[in-house]
Structure 1
Amino acid sequence: MTTRFLSILAAALMVAGPAFAHHSFAMFDYNKEVTLVGEVKEFKWTNPHIHVYLKAPDVTGAMAEWEIEGATPDNLKRQGWSRDTFKPGDKVTIVVHPLKNGTTGGMLVKATHSDGRAVGGRN
């Protein structure tokens, strides 16, 4: 009886583990979109989400570094992204759902290179 209970408990914990590992997206304001025009500082092709660090003006017009979170590499790969989608120095336009707390960050909605090539995103 104890062995069966422990086996069921272990299986339940293994299934529930990933659910606790993922963070909430409540910090993003999905009622707003902000368009950022700037220069890529860094692009991280990492799990569980990609990150783009962008030098672009903040809401006051001062130059700031924005941390933009995107979908998973697997999801973005299906949309044509790769670890070479952005390189430091690339000029881009990125639309984000901004952070609710007003800091310079957001959830990627869509991106466009300076030559007009659209890049995937959460459309």
Structure 2
Amino acid sequence: MKQVEVQIMQQSYLLACPDGRESRLLDAVERLDTAMCKIRDAGKVRARDRIAVLAALNFAFELADRENAELQAQAQARQAPTSQPAPQPAAADNLTAGALSEHDTQRLNQLIRQLDNALGGDGHLI
């Protein structure tokens, strides 16, 4: 296990990383830093922990969209053996509550509860 020092929103962090996976970690850090800076620069949220929570939720929505698209593509492939392009996931910013499956809604609610617990006395996200 290797120690890698990174910066996210001008804050240094020392992270443990499996040997040979440093480039993937650095890519993830860059993606997170970009997402958090966009949220900060939008001017609506200033607290670093709140920005991190919002970035995590955006990534969770993106992941849920991708998983949903993969499941839909698999279901379509089973129903119609002809090859069809996989549906494109909706952008996380354009999601409405009705666009999520019951499973995704449950996962999102669980994530929000975990984030609220992590924030502790700082308050609740939603």
Q: Do Structure 1 and Structure 2 share a fold, with TM-score over 0.5?
A: no
**TM-score, normalisation: structure 1:** 0.22
Higher percent of residues as strand: 1
Higher percent of residues as helix: 2
**TM-score, normalisation: structure 2:** 0.21
